[in-house]
Amino acid sequence: MYSLHAITDSIQNWLSVRFSPLWVLIIESLIVIVLAIALFAVLGLVLVWLERKVAAHMQIRLGPNRLGPAGIFQTSADTLKLILKEGLTPDGADKLLFNFAPFIVMIVAMLALAPIAFANGFQIWDVNIGVLYVSAVSSLSVIGILIAGWASNNKYSLLGAMRSGAQIVSYELSAGLSILTIVVLTGSLQISDIVHAQQNGWWLFKGHIPVIIAFVIFLIAATAETNRAPFDLAEAESELTAGFHTEYSGMKFALFFLAEYINIFIVCAIGATLFLGGWMPFHIGDWTQFNHVMDYIPSSIWFFGKTFFLIFLIMWFRWTFPRLRVDQLLTLEWKYLLPISLFNLLLVTVIAIMNWHF
């Protein structure tokens, strides 16, 4: 199996020979920051283009097709337009909080990347509470949304922010309970332990029906937490203009727009790690020859392939289902998903104690 340990270890050794431990830490932190920003930029361009192409395919039309082959430079043109656009601040807005809110959302998204294992031997921070860390940090994004809605001094923005707050707090429960099913089966909160526990098969396949139920609930909750259709009540254009970012323009609007797609990538990366083995190739029990062939595919391709498959599913949801009403959205969580998640977690606990999983 290909591993990036050799590359990361060689960089660490090269820096250690030439610099003091403090400077090694500073230089490595700067490298991580540059790579994270580059990843954000590339993901923003790719995911927006992919969203438009998926939507066009499902509606039997072309989508972006003017700038570059298959319109791949359309998102670059949109980015340039947003950079050149003037950023306006309403007269009645709280200027400090209004300008600070987009950065809170982006900082939270960047922090949530830390424990994710992008490949075998390529992980920023393998903390022993990785799953708890991601769940805790990602839920902070609602603070930026609430601040943006309140500081805009706009009734549509405030209403959209309050909807988003209620939505994220509600669906965080089901998402957390779905994640706990994998934690119970693995016996660890560490991302690397969860990935290695799926060496002989992904949890989605060897955890029986309760893990499949948890996976479906996680997808629904992740879609709701990222304010994606059919749960986009916080940005309902027909009701609230643009929701919590109605008053934003230029790069401040672009930060909210980018954070939405980065959050989609993060929740799908977590789903791929917990249920589909992360960077782990597709292995079947003791099928040595088959497993050996699967190991020839680089681990980064496995990780990004699974992640983009889940992103495609979330995009599919958007262009398939109509938007729910607020009462329907909360009813789905509190009357259906939460009780099912609680019972499912109890069932998985029994399976883990009795060692009935494969």
Neighbours of 204 (CB within 10 A): 17
User: Residue 352 — very low, low, confident or very high, per pLDDT cuts 50/70/90?
Assistant: confident
Q: Which of 200, 184, 167 is nearest to 280 (CA)?
A: 200
Distance CA 85, CA 299 (A): 40
Question: Taking the model in full, what pTM does it have?
Answer: 0.91
Looking at residue 85, its pLDDT comes to 84
Distance CA 174, CA 136 (A): 14
- Number of helices followed by number of strands (H, E) in the chain: 16, 2
> What is the percent of the chain with per-residue pLDDT over 70, rounded to a whole number?
98
Is the Cβ–Cβ distance between 63 and 55 less than 8 Å? Answer: yes
Q: Give the angle 210-215-216 at the CA atoms, nearest 5°.
A: 100
The sign one gets for the Cα dihedral 236, 238, 242, 243 is negative
Cα→Cα distances 21→27, 116, 284, Å: 10, 25, 43
Q: Which of 85, 244, 253, 58 is nearest to 161 (CA)?
A: 244
Q: How deeply is 61 buried, as exposed, middle or buried, from its count of CB atoms within 10 A (0-12, 13-18, 19+)?
A: exposed
Residue 241 has pLDDT above 80, yes or no: no
Looking at residue 183, its pLDDT comes to 94
Task: Give 304-315 pLDDT, tens digit per residue.
Answer: 999 999 999 999
Q: Can you give the residue ranges of every domain in the chain?
A: 5-354
Task: Give 184-240 pLDDT, tens digit per residue.
Answer: 999 999 999 999 998 888 899 888 899 999 999 999 999 998 888 888 887 776 777
- Angle at which helix 95-112 crosses helix 21-58, to 10 degrees, equals 100
| Torsion (CA) 280, 284, 285, 286 in degrees, nearest 10 | -110
Whole-number average pLDDT of the chain:
88
Cis status of the peptide bond prior to 230, with omega within 30 of 0: yes
Looking at residue 293, its pLDDT comes to 86
Residue 358 has pLDDT above 70, yes or no: no
Per-residue pLDDT averaged across 91-98, rounded?
Answer: 87
Task: Give 148-196 pLDDT, tens digit per residue.
Answer: 889 988 888 888 888 888 888 899 999 999 999 999 999 999 999 999 9
Looking at residue 346, its pLDDT comes to 93
Looking at residue 227, its pLDDT comes to 84
Distance CA 263, CA 106 (A): 9
Task: Give 22-74 pLDDT, tens digit per residue.
Answer: 888 889 889 888 888 898 889 988 999 999 999 999 888 888 888 888 888 88
Q: Which of 145, 143, 132, 160 is nearest to 240 (CA)?
A: 160
Q: Which of 120, 262, 109, 131 is nearest to 190 (CA)?
A: 131
Per-residue pLDDT averaged across 314-322, rounded?
Answer: 89
Cα→Cα distances 213→154, 177, 305, 317, Å: 40, 11, 22, 17
